[in-house]
Structure 1
Amino acid sequence: MRLLLFFTVLCFMGCYQVERNCKAFRTGHFYSEVVIDGSIYRSEFKRLDDLQIETYNNRIDSSRLRWINDCEVVFKTINPKNMAERKDIHLKILATTDTSYTFEYAYVGETKKQKGIAFTMD
């Protein structure tokens, strides 16, 4: 009986797929929230296909975008002000809804990843 229950649950889990309509978030006006060490960090950004302009703490940053595929992108800061800003950031969209997407990101080459959520503003 337990074996039958196990295979039934396994079957339903195998059929479930997370929705990822990443193309819908390639361009637009968004805001994001990331929790780091218990603090919420919010930013607002406008994204074109190859450019993102972000406002965080009343500071504007611009990055060039290189899309790896529909759900992954690498950000390169256009005018870095310090060493940390010289590092490229890899972002991967994990799941989407009609008005938001969940993502993870890290500096390219690093294994520690942060997660966040972005919402459309249009």
Structure 2
Amino acid sequence: MFKRVLFVFILFIALVSCYSPSRDCQAFKTGEFLFDYQIGDSQKQGRFIRGENFSVDYYENKVDSASIRWINDCEFVLQDLKSKVGIHYKIIKTTDSSYTFEYKNAVKDPNRKVVVKTGTAVRLK
């Protein structure tokens, strides 16, 4: 009985470990997207238009621009054109109309804890 349970458990672990979420990152390199984000207790929504080399963000009646440096098909760094602050993004899952991503500061500060946040962007165009 124990061997049967152990076999089923190992088979289950093997099947689950082989699962990999869909990642067609190339399809999301450019376009117009909506995303939700949170500031404090408030849920907000922003929009951005991303081209090959630049991204323009629209949020809270503001417009912000950033340059894009692709690391690979699924990772890139956005660097704000004014402040020069960089944010590292990693696309972790895609669907036909959206992608889920993780993001964090691109520059490591030894005095600050690394905070990784997640979000989802939905394609408009």
TM-score between both structures, scaled by the size of structure 1: 0.88
- Match for 2:74 among 71, 74, 79? 71
- Map of 1:31 onto structure 2: 34
Residue 43 (structure 1) aligns with: 46
Unmatched tracts of structure 1, length 5 or more: 81-85
The match for 2:105 is 107
Q: Once the 2 structures are TM-superposed, how far is the Cα of residue 114 of structure 1 from its aligned partner?
A: 1.0
Larger Rg: 2
- How far apart are the structure 2 equivalents of 1:41 and 1:89? 19
Across the two proteins, how many residue pairs are aligned to each other?
A: 117
Question: Corresponding residue for 1:89?
Answer: 87
Q: Distance between the aligned counterparts of 1:36 and 1:9, measured in 2?
A: 40
Distance in 2, matches of 1:16 and 1:93, equals: 17
- Which of these residues, 13, 32, 47, is aligned with residue 10 of structure 1? 13
Amino acid at match of 1:106: K
Q: Which moved more, 1:32-41 or 1:46-55?
A: 32-41
RMSD: 1.4
The amino acid that maps onto 2:96 is: D
- CA shift for structure 1 position 36: 5.2
Give the distance between the partners of 1:27 and 1:46, measured in 2 at CA: 8
**1:78 Cα deviation from its structure 2 partner:** 1.0
The structural deviation recorded for 1:34 is 2.6
Provide structure 2 residue ranges, at least 5 long, that are not aligned to the other structure.
none
8 Å Cα contact 1:35/1:115 also seen in 2? no
For 1:87 and 1:79, locate their aligned partners in 2 and report how far apart those are by CA, in whole Å. 8
